[in-house]
């Protein structure tokens, strides 16, 4: 059995490079991506699904639930990093890098805050995954995936670079410690058009809110 990390489908905010609000919905393209990843996971033996309650992740998770027939639970600790007062603003208008190490957005989360939350979530849900008769699917956000995979997952010598979590990418790790990586940021379920990065950037800015 395994733990499967899924990033949500694309939103207009992703394409426009905006720090998003929780209620930002999937775009038409994002819905198409979410249907594809749901179809892919419909061929897995999925025991349970947990999802962020942000609209873009929850819609993605609901489509996966419908394809898999597995129960879906909401878990607020799977939410994207909180950018506080910067939400709704375009990256280009800020004049600085909101993802820079050491930067804390006003009324938002620091990197350290995010890492602590991700660690709490992972310790709790990974413990649950061990007792399941199938895979545990976690539907979440780019920076949550980055925080987790870059710090807590045994990469087995594989090189990890920022920006590996495209919309609806699938990452699979062993369900038991040391949580060895099986698959990283895979979008094989998307055709060339749906897999194309409409933002034209790499690094943390391409996986951010």
Q: In what order do the strands lie in the sheet with 2-7?
A: 72-74, 46-51, 135-140, 2-7, 170-174, 181-186
Catalytic residue chosen out of the listed positions 8, 35, 44, 189: 8
**Is residue 8 among the annotated active site residues?**
yes
What distance in Å separates the CA atoms of residue 199 and residue 13, rounded to the nearest whole number? 10
Catalytic residue chosen out of the listed positions 48, 80, 109, 146: 80
Nearest to 97 by CA among 207, 205, 209, 206: 205
170-174 and 2-7 beta bridge pairing: antiparallel
- The token pair at 179 is 């949580």
**Is residue 146 among the annotated active site residues?**
no
Distances from the Cα of 139 to the Cαs of 81, 91, 120, 136, 158, in angstroms?
14, 24, 16, 10, 23
Quick check: 11 and 25 in contact, CB under 8 A? yes
DSSP per position, 74-88: E-GGGSPP--GGGTT
What distance in Å separates the CA atoms of residue 78 and residue 73, rounded to the nearest whole number? 11
What lies within 8 Å, CB to CB, of 151 at 6+ separation is 115, 118
**∠ at Cα 99 (30, 80), nearest 5°?**
45
Active site residues per annotation: 8, 80
């Amino acid at each position: 059995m395994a733990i499967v990390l899924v990033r949500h489908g694309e939103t207009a905010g992703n394409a426009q490079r905006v720090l998003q609000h929780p209620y930002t919905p999937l775009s038409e393209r994002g819905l198409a991506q979410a249907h594809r990843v749901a179809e892919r996971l419909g061929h897995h033996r999925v025991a349970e699904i947990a999802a962020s309650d942000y609209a873009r992740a929850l819609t993605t998770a609901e489509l996966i639930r419908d394809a898999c027939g597995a129960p879906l639970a909401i878990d607020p600790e799977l939410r994207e990093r909180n950018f506080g007062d910067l939400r709704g603003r375009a990256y280009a208008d800020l004049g600085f890098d909101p993802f820079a190490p050491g930067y804390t957005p006003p009324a938002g989360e620091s990197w350290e805050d995010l890492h602590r939350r991700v660690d709490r979530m992972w310790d709790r849900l990974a413990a649950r995954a061990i007792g399941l008769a199938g895979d545990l699917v976690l539907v979440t956000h780019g920076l949550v995936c980055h925080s987790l995979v870059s710090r807590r997952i045994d990469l087995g010598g594989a090189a990890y670079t920022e920006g590996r979590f495209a919309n609806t990418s699938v990452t699979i790790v062993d369900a038991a410690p040391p949580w060895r990586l099986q698959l990283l940021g895979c979008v094989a379920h998307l055709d060339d058009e749906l897999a194309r990065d409409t933002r034209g950037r790499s690094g943390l800015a391409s996986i951010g809110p």
